[in-house]
């Protein structure tokens, strides 16, 4: 029996090597029978929170600087000023009247209507919806109102809150608190009020018009998640903003940038990925055989491989045709001799700016003149919608904090053009995979990939152990090979090991088993029969940007392995079968 199973394992272990580069998001996505609750919950929360904050911001920007004549009848400037203690204790008639007044300004209907029109109609969110009504089940309320009595104004700082209700797997209830802060300044002197409004207008004009298309972050890193954390700490970027702000011509006032802060908005990033990918190489085809030879240090094969997967016209790549107004410009630009990559360019970026819902909403609500310029933005690979806050100004012995505003930060590469950048990425990604896979032929002539285990892994924690796709520490495995990671010092690209499907794309495998010889096996169970399927249909992908499952339409280098025949094993027998089967993936301690 052992001998039979060993022969079976060797005969069905076939390696295919499609070197994926990019696929249009609408062309190829995750496998439909998979559902990632964590992912969809985060996206749903990001969408709802974005609507909540943008609608509140739009409404209360009109009330940042107002006259005491705009107060409701039951309130007046002097009464509020004399009731300072009530705001410290958060109770009392004046405090309650102020809370009621501000609460009535909250655009609740707008918020719930936009959520209904733009979020609840998205079928992707159906599994996490409790019902077809607003997910803000508890309503929207004022959490706190703080009062600062100044020389020429009353300043209210207001926290507005709500809770998102949704459900996760197994129908468990899930809650997420959200909030937004707004500032209202009430003046009793019309002249000072007009001065404050003028300063605000100058500031808004600066960030929405004068520098709206000039805010840059210089980096070749594709790790947008890491860049999101770096932007708030980037002193060059902050100095540029401070210099521009301090150059504003303000009569009788002084800008204060000491507390300036930046925060990239969740879900507010767009990248320049387009849609292009390679052929699916057959086992006996030249590209596949060349790939295997190149992995085993055949220099001629490696040169041939790279020549055919780099550039815009590599013979081993299938080029997608596009019909959208931006994408059709790609071929025209290349025909004109422009040095742009089909894989990522300003036309793809422009399309994403128009398509990505959160980014599009933030751009619209900000009233910014931000726009992708096909000539000037040829070297921009991503844009980050970013909250700018903490700025204030001094006027008439009083300090006024400006409400947060959204700016749009372009990430510019240091390479001459995106074609050079793309080719360098493919080179680095290839060198990473070659070093990581450590390919060699065994005594039967099969190519085995020896994956180096982290030093802190214990053999006993893996031998003859089952894992779910989410539980297996795959990222620790990618980080364990120091020589491979030396190839990733510039691009900070991302790695993953997924279940592949020729027609539907990638999915997280449901199960992983490591046998007694430390061979790694991926497999799923058929939804209807419960039998083992998709055994070792593995995709090892190196993507320029993070999260290839969500963002398949991006530059990537993907190596796939699969079996010629689909297994049909009883899951109760799978351990015995796999313990005597050979896998192309071998864990080395």
State yes or no: pLDDT of 323 exceeds 80: no
Specify whether 181 is located in the same domain as 219.
no
What's the pLDDT tens digit per position in 131-170? 999 999 999 999 999 999 999 999 999 999 999 999 987 7
Determine which of 76-85, 168-177, 229-238, 572-581 has the lowest per-residue pLDDT on average.
168-177
Tell me the per-residue pLDDT of 549-583, one tens digit each, with 9 for 90 and over: 888 788 888 877 755 556 789 999 999 999 999 99
Q: Report residue 499's pLDDT band, with 50, 70 and 90 as the boundaries.
A: confident
Kind and range of the H or E run holding 548: none
Radius of gyration in angstroms for the set of CA atoms belonging to the chain, rounded to a whole number: 29
User: Cβ distance 471 to 418 under 8 Å?
Assistant: no
DSSP H helix total and E strand total for the chain: 18, 25
What does 351-417 look like in DSSP terms, one character per residue?
HHHHH-HHHHHHHHHHT------TTTTTTEEEEEEEEEE--EEEETTEEEEPPPEEEEEEEE-SSSS
Residues 142 and 195 placed together within one structural domain of the fold: no
Beta bridge partners of 240: none
Phi, psi dihedrals of residue 45, rounded to the nearest 5°: -65, -45
pLDDT of the residue at 427: 97
Q: Which two tokens stand for residue 236?
A: 């060059």
Residues 171 and 184 in one domain: yes
pLDDT of residue 31: 37
Q: Are residues 245 and 158 in the same domain?
A: no
Q: What own/partner pairs with CB < 8 Å and gap ≥ 24 does 244-247 have?
A: 244/206, 244/210, 244/211, 245/203, 245/206, 245/391
Percent of all residues in the chain with a pLDDT value above 70, rounded to a whole number = 89
Q: How many whole angstroms separate alpha carbon 32 and alpha carbon 272? A: 25
| One domain for residues 168 and 183 | yes
Q: Please tell me whether residues 41 and 102 are part of one structural domain.
A: yes
Whole-model pTM over 0.85: yes
What is the spatial distance between Cα 584 and Cα 280, in angstroms, rounded to a whole number? 19
Mean pLDDT of the region 342-357? 93
Q: What pLDDT was estimated at residue 537?
A: 82
Q: What is the rounded CA–CA span in Å between residue 445 and residue 27?
A: 37
Which whole number is the average pLDDT over 530-554?
87
Average pLDDT over the chain, rounded to an integer: 89
Bin 464: left if φ > 0, else alpha if -120 < ψ < 50, else beta. left
Under 8 Å CB-to-CB from 118, ≥6 apart: which residues?
A: 47, 51, 357, 361
* 42 shares a domain with 110: yes
- The per-residue pLDDT for 27 is 36
- Residue 3: is its pLDDT beyond 50? no
Whether residue 549 sits in one domain with residue 515: yes
* Phi, psi angles (nearest 5°) of residue 447: -80, 125
Q: Is residue 12 part of a domain?
A: no
pLDDT beyond 50 at 586: yes
Other residues' Cβ atoms within 10 Å of the Cβ of residue 402: 21
Of 2-16, 45-59, 566-580, the poorest mean pLDDT is in 2-16
Q: Are 173 and 165 in contact (CB under 8 A)?
A: yes
> What was the pLDDT predicted at 35?
60
Confidence class for position 77, pLDDT limits 50, 70, 90: very high
Q: What is the DSSP letter of 210?
A: I
Stretch among 286-290, 420-424, 511-515 having the lowest mean pLDDT? 286-290
Class of residue 461 by CB neighbours under 10 A (exposed 0-12, middle 13-18, buried 19+): exposed
Q: Which residues contact 377 (CB under 8 A, 6 or more apart)?
A: 346, 349, 410
pLDDT bracket for residue 32 (50, 70, 90): very low
Nearest-angstrom CA–CA distance, 205 and 184? 20
566 Cβ neighbours under 8 A, 6+ residues apart: 533, 534, 535
Q: What is the mean pLDDT of residues 529-540?
A: 87
Reply yes or no on whether the pLDDT at 518 is more than 60: yes
DSSP 8-state assignment for residue 298 = -
pLDDT of residue 7: 29
Among candidate residues 213, 259, 209, 232, the one with its CA nearest the CA of residue 389 = 259
d(CA 372, CA 347): 9
- The residues, ordered by sequence, that sit 6+ positions from 512 with a Cβ below 8 Å of its Cβ are 466, 467, 468, 469, 472, 520, 521, 522, 523
Q: Which of 69, 22, 64, 14 is nearest to 402 (CA)?
A: 64
Measured N-to-C along each axis, helices 286-295 and 418-437 cross at an angle, to the nearest 10 degrees, of: 70
Helix or strand (DSSP H, E) at 255: strand 253-256
Q: Which of 160-174, 278-292, 322-336, 493-507 has the lowest mean pLDDT?
A: 278-292
d(CA 59, CA 585): 57
Least confident of 57-61, 253-257, 276-280: 276-280
The Cα 535–Cα 523 span in angstroms is 4
Contact 435, 487 (CB under 8 A): yes
Domain end, chosen from 392, 414, 436, is at 414
User: Both 95 and 205 in a single domain?
Assistant: no
Residue 588 pairs in a beta bridge with 452
Q: What mean pLDDT do residues 270-288 have?
A: 72
Look at residues 391, 414, 437 and tell me which one is the last residue of a structural domain.
414
pLDDT of residue 564: 55
The total number of structural domains in the chain stands at 3
Contact criterion met (CB below 8 Å) for 135 and 166 = yes
Q: Is residue 288 part of a domain?
A: no
Give Cα 170 to chain centroid, integer Å.
Answer: 26
Pairwise CA distance, residues 260 & 241, whole Å: 9
Residue 24 lies in a domain: no
Residues 517 and 406 in one domain: no
Instruction: Give me 227's structure tokens.
Output: 């860049």
Cβ within 8 Å of residue 87, ≥6 positions away = 95, 98, 145, 146, 147
Q: How confident is the model at residue 501 (pLDDT cuts 50, 70, 90)?
A: low
Q: Report how far residue 346's alpha carbon sits from residue 373's, in angstroms, rounded to the nearest whole number.
A: 8
Q: What is the largest CA-CA distance in the chain?
A: 94
Is there a domain that residue 325 lies in?
no
478 with 389, same domain? no
10 in any annotated domain: no
Q: Is residue 422 part of a domain?
A: yes
Residues 428 and 481 in one domain: yes
Domain boundary among 414, 429, 450: 414
Element (H, E) at 160: strand 153-167
Whether 318 shows a pLDDT value over 90: the answer reads no
Greatest mean pLDDT among 318-322, 501-505, 548-552: 548-552
Residue 556, domain extent? 418-587
> Which whole number is the average pLDDT over 303-323?
80
CA atoms within 13 A on the CB side of 336: 8
pLDDT above 60: residue 79: yes
Give the number of residues written for the chain: 589
Residue 250 is predicted with a pLDDT of 84
129's CB contacts (< 8 A; 6+ apart) are 120, 135, 166, 167
> Does any domain span residue 18?
no
Average pLDDT over residues 342-366: 94
Provide the token pair at 43. 């996206």
What percent of the chain has a predicted confidence (pLDDT) above 90? 74
Residue 306 is assigned to a structural domain of this protein: no
Q: Which of 318, 285, 333, 304 is nearest to 22 (CA)?
A: 318
Taking CA atoms, 74 is separated from 2, 68, 77, 440, in Å, by 88, 12, 11, 83
- Report the pLDDT averaged over residues 481-506: 87
Instruction: Give me the mean pLDDT over the 348-363 stretch.
Output: 95
């Amino acid at each position: 029996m052992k001998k039979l199973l060993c022969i079976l394992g060797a005969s069905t272990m076939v390696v295919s090597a499609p070197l994926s580069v990019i696929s249009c998001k609408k062309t190829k996505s995750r496998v439909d029978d998979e559902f990632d609750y964590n992912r969809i919950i985060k996206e749903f929360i990001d969408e709802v929170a974005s609507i909540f904050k943008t609608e509140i911001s739009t409404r209360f920007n009109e009330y940042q600087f107002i006259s005491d004549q705009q107060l409701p009848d039951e309130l007046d400037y002097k009464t509020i000023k004399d009731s300072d203690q009530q705001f410290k204790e958060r109770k009392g008639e004046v405090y309650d009247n102020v809370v009621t007044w501000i609460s009535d300004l909250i655009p609740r209907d707008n918020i719930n209507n936009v959520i209904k029109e733009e979020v609840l109609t998205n079928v992707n969110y159906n599994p996490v919806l409790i019902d077809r009504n607003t997910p803000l089940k508890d309503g929207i309320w004022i959490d706190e109102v703080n009062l600062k009595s100044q020389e020429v104004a009353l300043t209210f700082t207001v926290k507005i809150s709500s809770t998102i209700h949704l459900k996760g797997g197994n129908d468990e209830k899930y809650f997420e608190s959200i909030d937004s802060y707004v500032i209202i300044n009430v003046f009793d002197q019309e002249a000072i009020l007009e001065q404050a409004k003028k300063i605000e207008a100058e500031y808004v004009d600066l960030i929405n018009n004068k520098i709206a298309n000039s805010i840059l972050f210089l980096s070749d890193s594709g790790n947008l998640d890491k860049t999101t954390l770096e932007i708030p700490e980037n002193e060059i970027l902050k100095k540029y903003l401070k210099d521009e702000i301090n150059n504003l011509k303000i009569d009788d006032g002084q800008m204060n940038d000491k507390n300036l802060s930046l925060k990239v908005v969740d879900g507010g990033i767009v990248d320049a990925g387009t849609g292009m990918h390679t052929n699916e190489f057959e086992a006996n085809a030249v590209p596949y055989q060349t790939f295997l030879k190149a992995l085993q240090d055949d220099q001629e094969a490696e040169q041939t491989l790279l020549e055919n997967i780099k550039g815009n016209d590599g013979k081993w790549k299938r080029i997608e045709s596009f019909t959208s107004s931006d994408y059709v410009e790609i071929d025209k630009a290349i025909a004109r001799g422009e040095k742009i990559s089909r894989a990522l360019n300003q036309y793809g970026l422009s399309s994403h700016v128009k398509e990505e819902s959160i980014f599009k909403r933030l751009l619209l609500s900000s009233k910014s003149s931000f726009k992708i310029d096909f000539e000037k933005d040829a070297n921009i690979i991503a844009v980050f919608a970013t909250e700018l806050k903490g700025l204030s100004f001094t006027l008439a012995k009083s300090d006024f904090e400006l409400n947060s505003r959204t700016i749009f930060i372009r990430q510019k590469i240091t390479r001459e053009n995106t074609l050079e950048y793309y080719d360098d990425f493919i080179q680095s990604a290839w060198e990473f995979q070659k070093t990581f896979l450590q390919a060699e032929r065994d005594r039967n002539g099969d190519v085995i990939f020896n994956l180096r285990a982290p030093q802190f892994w214990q053999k006993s924690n893996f031998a003859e152990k089952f894992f779910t796709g989410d539980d297996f520490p795959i990222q620790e495995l990618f980080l364990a090979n120091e020589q491979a990671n030396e190839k990733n010092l510039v691009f900070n690209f991302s790695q993953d090991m997924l279940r592949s499907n020729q027609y539907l794309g990638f999915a997280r495998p449901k199960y992983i088993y490591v046998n007694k010889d430390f061979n790694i096996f991926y497999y799923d169970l058929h939804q209807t029969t419960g039998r083992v399927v998709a055994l070792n249909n593995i995709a090892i992908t190196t993507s320029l940007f993070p999260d290839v499952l969500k963002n398949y339409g991006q530059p990537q280098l993907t190596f796939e392995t699969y079996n010629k025949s689909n297994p049909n094993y009883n899951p109760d027998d799978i351990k015995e079968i796999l313990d005597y089967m050979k896998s192309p993936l071998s864990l080395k301690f």
